[in-house]
Structure 1
Amino acid sequence: MGRKVFVIGVGMTKFEKPGRRENFDYPEMAKEAGTKALQDAGVSYNEINQACVGYVYGDTTCGQRALYQLGLTGIPIYNVNNACSTGSTALLMGKNLIEGGMAECVLCLGFEKMERGSLQFKYTDRTSPMDKHVEVMTQLRDFESGPITAQMFGNAGREHMEKYSTKPEHFAKIAYKNHKHSVNNPYSQFRDEYTLDQVKAAPKIHEPLTKLQCCPTSDGSACAILASQDFVEKHNLQSQAVEIVAMEMATDLPSVFQDRSCMQIVGYDMSKLAADKAFAKAGFERNAVDVIELHDCFSANELITYEALGLCEPGKAGEFIDRGDNTYGGKYVVNPSGGLLSKGHPLGATGLAQCAELSWQLRGQADKRQVKGAKVGLQHNIGLGGAAVVSLYRLGYPRENRLQAANVSASSENDFKSKEVFKEIGSHLEKDGANIVKKMNGIFCFNVKNGAGQTGTWYVDAKNGKGSVTFGGDKKADVTLSMNDDDLLKLMTGKLNPQTAFFQGKLKFKGNMALAMKLKEIQPKAGNSKL
């Protein structure tokens, strides 16, 4: 067994219809996702030892060009292409680097800038990596003109219907569920809810799949920062660290081409193998899982994968769906993000977006999508050709996470030395609030931890009226800063340089970086302060 590996920061862009968002080339989308992940982790790009970058459509070294937006530090950057499982493959590479002792902190990035319409093979003057799959599928089912992937997954769904008691409505129910989940996901390409009848009545793509049961092409990016246990503890990141307990990749087995099964061709066998290996390595039973991000490029694939992952017995997926065991209130919550069907599928970003969603779920930060009491997350990502990656996640330091959540509301203002700083800021606003609000136009949130492990929250509103300072509550802030009580006192009285504090891991912030840089505008003025 290698060293433990933790996800310490995640970030992503909203997934968009190709070409819809202006100035959204891959360097811009990578910068947005990467910056969010670094801010979430509270680390600088200078602390990244190596980077793994995934994309499918692009020239060589696009990974380098994407990361130039974050910094030029000379670190190794690996470019990854593994079909639809590219993002999780980049994540697996990053995990292996840390697990093997080759790095302490690795940035894993995925992005895709796609063309509109169905996927096409880019090169016709050489052997297609899918030629054997298409050859076998053609022998099993007659191919029509149109998207090959839709026919593959549609035929796999038809095979399941013929072999078991599955009905077209079961595939439609999956799409209905995922579109309903996406309503609460601000990163989702589509956030419209449909009735079951609307899903079934949508234009037919390939029996039994309608348009609303097929994922769209998408532009977007996602990023995860991975770290070793030493790095996590050195930087005091225990309260947000999500452990990757197990992560396994499998490729196609001989049975794919020998047994002549549509279901095997679209990934059943390799998904099952990867899942079995991951659960064995983690020592978990299937019922330990609470929340799942599953590769639902088509509703038929989600249904088949329930059985491949062991969430239900073979042939029982229809009953599993009818019981509601794939949504809130059931045995598992599958694709709370909306999945690929609604969230979108920018190929290189998909696996890392799944990682982001599960990290938010396990931290309790998924807002209206939150799966209550989620402790173990499962990720499934496949690429035809083939590669299946299955991962298991849990909170790395659950006690620290619970303490942080409990102490915010348990503390009083008098438990902190920093209370005097906020009194001074309040006095400053009373005297010159209108001018400060005009300059700042933002709301600061300060999360402060004292020596007793208690956490208090102050809000400095430099956006409304003449400004105000309040302790506690739950307001929407433009930027959030987190520090220890003693360090914040030193920072606000000029005894600690903000840049030094950030690089030393004493200052962490999330949100509007430009506003964070204006912090000096509300600092108590030297000579006038009582501190």
Structure 2
Amino acid sequence: MTRPVHVAGVGMMPFTKPGASDSYHAMGARAARAALEDARVDYQHVEQVYAGYVYGDSCSGQAAVYHLGLSGVPVVNVNNNCATGSTALFLARQAIASGAAECVLALGFEQMQRGAIASHWKDRPDPSQRLLDAMEAIQGPPTDAPVAAQLFGGAARMHMQLYGTRTDTFGRISVKARRHAARNPLALFRDALTLDEVMASPAVFDPLTRLQCCPPTCGAAAAVLCSADFARRHGLDAIVRIAAQAMTTDGNSSFDEKDMRKLVGYDMTRRAAAQVYEASGIGPEDIPVVELHDCFTANELITYEALGLAPEGGAEKFILEGDNTYGGKVVTNPSGGLLSKGHPLGATGLAQCAELVWQLRGQAGARQVEGARLALQHNLGLGGACVVTLFQRD
């Protein structure tokens, strides 16, 4: 699969709290229309659709794209937990790169409910049971805290144990996220936070406080991918392409090494990033802007190291020296990230894609990373899947 794959258009609607959104199919259709309009492509030219969502009935993707037209093209519904949106992107890229299609729509949406994420199926085995068993083997019986907070909070504790990381270092990530989100009109939470406010917010699972946990969110995002030939024939803007992409799942180290960082995806991320760097010939030191999966501050911190943005054990220094923001080595989550922009599970990966395409086009407004020609995306789903994507401006 060697054909270049270009991102012709992206679209995203502002994320909202549960109960304040349109229905999932209306949100999905809006985001898809926005991406098609941005690409200047009619839906009739789309040959395949990959529609991602986590919570919804079968064929919800069709319910969304049927608002665009009844063209009869294949619609594939995708569910890979929090990596769903970037999994749809991964499949759309494969279709173009392989020559199976010339123009493909990747769409993600989520209509979430209030409260922590929970399983809706109590009459069958939990697909996360191996993950939960491994967590209990490492840190004892579960508490009443949300399971995801226990998992990522455990990863924070492991980093603290190994490297002496301070609790307020994690809190600084939330402060940075809000500072970035203040520049993003599409972000859910745009009010500034102080470190004192973050650390004084209610405890969720030590060392994580409530303001270090992303909120349940509703929203949608989309991307139109195409081949270079299709872009040329239709006079499209093909300035942004996917330079490399990799998707990984769990290996033995996730469960066998009694390391909470690895249980929540550290090694999945490291392997995916290594594949992307090798395929592209580009290293982490070359990348000026990253959208990474900051579902909790703990995950942002360990992901700095997994992506190679900071050396192992060096994330705290990276944060304290301001190397994760404007004026530093790499701007991480200029959108505000999941912590401030919001995290509608199926849409998250495609919202990250949209932000990075705007950055590479120079269309990010007040949050623009000047001169950015490379951008890295990291999207993680427990259970597990990790997708790392490198975008390049030609």
TM range (shorter): over 0.9
Partner of 1:15: 15
Q: Report the secondary structure of 1:190's partner residue.
A: coil
User: What stretches of structure 1 of length at least 5 have no aligned partner?
Assistant: 397-531
Q: Trace 1:106-185 onto structure 2 (pairs within 5 A).
A: 106-142=104-140, 143-185=142-184
Q: Which amino acid aligns with 2:20?
A: R
Cα distance, 1:241 vs structure 2: 3.0
Distance 1:242 1:116 in 2: 36
Q: Trace 1:88-487 onto structure 2 (pairs within 5 A).
A: 88-142=86-140, 143-238=142-237, 241-396=239-394
Cα distance, 1:130 vs structure 2: 1.0
Q: Which amino acid aligns with 1:271?
A: T
The structure having more radius of gyration, on CA atoms, is 1
Q: Report the secondary structure of 2:69's partner residue.
A: coil
Q: Which amino acid aligns with 1:2?
A: T
Distance 1:184 1:190 in 2: 11
Cα distance, 1:41 vs structure 2: 0.4
Cα distance, 1:235 vs structure 2: 1.8
Q: Report the secondary structure of 1:349's partner residue.
A: helix
Cα distance, 1:237 vs structure 2: 2.0
Partner of 2:52: 54
CA RMSD of aligned residues (A): 0.8
Distance 1:229 1:354 in 2: 23
Contact 1:232/1:241 (<8 A) preserved: no
Distance 1:129 1:203 in 2: 30
Cα distance, 1:124 vs structure 2: 1.5
Contact 1:185/1:369 (<8 A) preserved: yes
Distance 2:49 2:215 in 1: 28
Q: Which amino acid aligns with 2:13?
A: T
Partner of 1:33: 31
Distance 2:139 2:66 in 1: 47
Q: Report the secondary structure of 1:378's partner residue.
A: strand
Cα distance, 1:32 vs structure 2: 1.1
* CA offset digits 1:229-257 (Å, max 9, x no partner): 1011112224x531000110011110111
Q: Which amino acid aligns with 2:166?
A: K
Q: Which amino acid aligns with 2:259?
A: S
Cα distance, 1:2 vs structure 2: 1.8
Cα distance, 1:165 vs structure 2: 2.3
Aligned pairs, number: 393
Partner of 1:79: 77
Contact 1:291/1:332 (<8 A) preserved: yes
Distance 2:300 2:283 in 1: 20
* CA offset digits 1:310-362 (Å, max 9, x no partner): 11110010001011110000000000000000011000000000000000000
Contact 1:165/1:315 (<8 A) preserved: no
Q: Which amino acid aligns with 1:56?
A: V
Distance 1:17 1:241 in 2: 34
* CA offset digits 1:287-320 (Å, max 9, x no partner): 1101000000000000000000111110010001
Distance 1:108 1:58 in 2: 17
Cα distance, 1:216 vs structure 2: 0.4
Contact 1:53/1:63 (<8 A) preserved: yes
Partner of 1:435: none
> Structure 2 length normalisation: TM-score?
0.98
Distance 1:234 1:326 in 2: 40
Distance 2:342 2:30 in 1: 18
Distance 1:8 1:158 in 2: 42
Q: Report the secondary structure of 1:388's partner residue.
A: strand
Contact 1:12/1:221 (<8 A) preserved: yes
Cα distance, 1:72 vs structure 2: 0.6
* CA offset digits 1:271-290 (Å, max 9, x no partner): 00000001100110211101
> Structure 1 length normalisation: TM-score?
0.73
Contact 1:165/1:318 (<8 A) preserved: no
* CA offset digits 1:152-172 (Å, max 9, x no partner): 100110110010021111100
